[in-house]
Amino acid sequence: MGDVVSSGSPLVVDGRDGAIFDTTRIDASARVCGKDGIHEWIDHRDVMSLLDAIVYIAEDHSRAIGLKHVRADEFWVPGHFPSAPILPGVLMVEAAAQLMNWMFNRKRGTKDLGAFLRINNCSFRNSVTIGDDLYVLAEEIRFGSRGFTARTQGIVRGQIAFSADLSGMVFRTL
């Protein structure tokens, strides 16, 4: 799914620290699914449905890339530094948690509501603002029968915006 090499791809990280998995052969313009396809597998809606599309999913569902278009009409813009709006880090991490839950559900073939349990090794490196495309990467560390852990990362403008290891568990089946 999307193995076109494109020079200047927004998924190719500049600098010494690279992406958590090889993104050089992934087409950032590809679409596995949009919001409707995401909603088939996770229950987030309205202002808390943070992913706009899935760009890539590995055949074994162990790695995925989601896309969030950062818009001027989002609920946080008027209050999170109105003179220079910056996407709150907690929403970047929430987008990654949604991608992790989507991967877990797709892999299992069930629609489970995942409760977010833990954030480890989290750091923020670059700001994300209106007009940016935030690519959210997730790589399975462990997906068990009721729990799941993934290494996640956000890439914006060819730079790492955040990285975190996230854990969740099945709260209930939807």
Give yes or no for residue 5 having a pLDDT over 60.
no
CB 65 within 8 A of CB 137: yes
pLDDT of residue 2: 36
| pTM across the whole model | 0.91
* pLDDT above 90 for 16: no
List all residues 6 or more positions away from 126 whose beta carbon is below 8 Å from its beta carbon: 156, 157, 159, 160, 161
Instruction: Give the CA distances from residue 8 to residues 26, 57, 85, 123, in Å, rounded to whole numbers and listed in that order.
Output: 12, 21, 26, 25
Tell me: pLDDT of 4 over 60.
no
Amino acid at 147: G
pLDDT in tens, 61-110: 999 999 999 999 999 999 999 999 999 999 999 999 999 999 999 999 99
Which is catalytic among the residues 39, 44, 61, 80? Answer: 80
Whether 80 sits among the annotated catalytic residues: the reply is yes
The overall average pLDDT reported for the chain is 91
Place of tokens 């055949």: 59
Domains along the chain? 33-173 (3.10.129.10)
